[in-house]
Structure 1
Amino acid sequence: MPAHDSYDYAVIRVVPRVEREEFINVGIILSCERRGFLEARIELEPARVLALDPQADLEQLRRHLDAIPAICRGGADGGPIGALPPRARFHWLTARRSAIIQTSPTHMGKCTDLDAAVEHLLERMVRPPR
C-alpha cells in the first residue's frame, strides 16, 4: 500500500468588489513539500464573476489568475517569485491580502495521489454543484 503524503492547500478566490467581501472560488493551490509538488488549477466561470460585478474586467482578471499556475511551475515564466523554492512560492501565493484575487486560509490533507487530490478539491470547493 502506498504511503500517504501530507499536503497543504488553499482555495483561490475572486473578490470582484473587495468592499463587499463577496467571493467566488475559482481554483486550488496544492503543495506537498516532501514530493516537491506545487500546482494550481484555475476554473474561472465568467458568468459567476459578472453576477457579483457586471463591470468586472474579465480579461485583466484572467491575466492575473494565469500568473498563479506559472508561479507554481517556477522558472522564468513565474517572474521573480518563480525563482524561489516551491515551498516559498506556496507561502507567497497564500499570503493574506486585500485584493481582487485572494486565497482561503491554508488547510491540510493526506493522500496517495496528489493529482487526484487536486481534482477532488476542485470538485468539492470550486465547481458549482451539479
Structure 2
Amino acid sequence: MARHVVATVDDIPAGQRMLVKVGGREIGIFNIGGEFFAVSNRCPHEGASLCKGRIVGLVESSEPGSYQFSRRGELLRCPWHGWEFDLRTGKSWCEPDRTKVRSYDLKVEPGGALVEGELQAETFPVVIEKQYVVIEV
C-alpha cells in the first residue's frame, strides 16, 4: 500500500482537521489531543461531505435528569442527518455493527526518517529553454 505525506503536525492543531485528497479520495485528518485519525469524507449513510460536520463528544445518561459528557472531540457528526461516527474506529454511533465510515492508518513520523527512508519527495529535472519552462516526467 502506498504511503503519502499529507501535512506536518503543526498544520493541524489539536481539535482541528484538514481535508486532503490522496489517490482521488477525499480524506479528513483529525487531531484529537495530539492523536491523529483519518476517515473518508463520504458519509456511508447518504454520501454527505462528512468531514464538514461538527466534532462532538458523547453525552450519556444513567437516569433521567443526570448526564455525563465524555469523549470530547472524538465523534464526527454528519452535516446532513446528524449521524455520528467514532473518529478512532470509524463506527457509526447509531448502528455500530452495520455502518462505519472508512478509516485509514495514520502515523506521525520524524522528518529525518522521511528523507532517509522510503518516503522521499518526488523530484523532476527542470530546464529553462529560451522563454519556456519544461519539466521532464
Task: Place the TM-score, normalised by the shorter chain, in its bin.
Answer: under 0.3
More strand by share: 2
| Alignment TM-score, normalising by the size of structure 1 | 0.28
Larger radius of gyration: 2
Q: Structure 2-normalised TM-score?
A: 0.27
Structure with greater helix share of residues: 1
